[in-house]
Amino acid sequence: MVIERNRKNPLIIPADVKPSREDFSVECVFNAGVTRYNDDIILLLRVAERPIQTDESKVTVPIIKEVNGKFELQLISFDKNDSSCDFSDSRLIKKNDEMYLTSMSHIRIAKSKDGINFDIDETPFIFPQTQYEEFGVEDPRVTFIDGEYYINYSAVSSKGIATNLVKTKDFKNVEQEGIIFPVENRDVCIYPEKINGKYYALHRPVPSMIGNPEMWIASSEDLIHWGRHEFLMGTKKEGWESGRIGGGAVPFKTEKGWIEIYHGADKNNRYCLGALLLDLDDPTKIIARSEKPILEPEAKYEVEGFFGNVVFSCGVLCENECVKIYYGASDEVIALAEISIEEIYKLLNV
Give the span between the Cα atoms of 265 and 285, in whole angstroms.
23
Phi, psi of 307 (to 5 degrees): -140, 95
Give the span between the Cα atoms of 13 and 333, in whole angstroms.
5
Helix (H) or strand (E) holding 342: helix 341-348
Is a pLDDT exceeding 80 seen at residue 289? yes
The pLDDT tens digits of the residues spanning 41-59 come to 999 999 999 999 999 999 9
Residues 235-253: what's their mean pLDDT? 97
Is a pLDDT exceeding 90 seen at residue 199? yes
The pLDDT tens digits of the residues spanning 120-156 come to 999 999 999 999 999 999 999 999 999 999 999 999 9
Phi, psi of 16 (to 5 degrees): -80, -10
pLDDT of residue 318: 96
Burial class (CB in 10 A: 0-12, 13-18, 19+), 33: buried
pLDDT of residue 108: 98
Q: Which of 301, 294, 303 is nearest to 338 (CA)?
A: 294
pLDDT of residue 345: 97
CB 316, CB 325: distance < 8 Å: yes
Domains of the chain, earliest start first: 4-348 (2.115.10.20)
Global pTM reads: 0.96
pLDDT band at 1 (very low <50, low <70, confident <90, very high): confident
Give the span between the Cα atoms of 302 and 309, in whole angstroms.
6
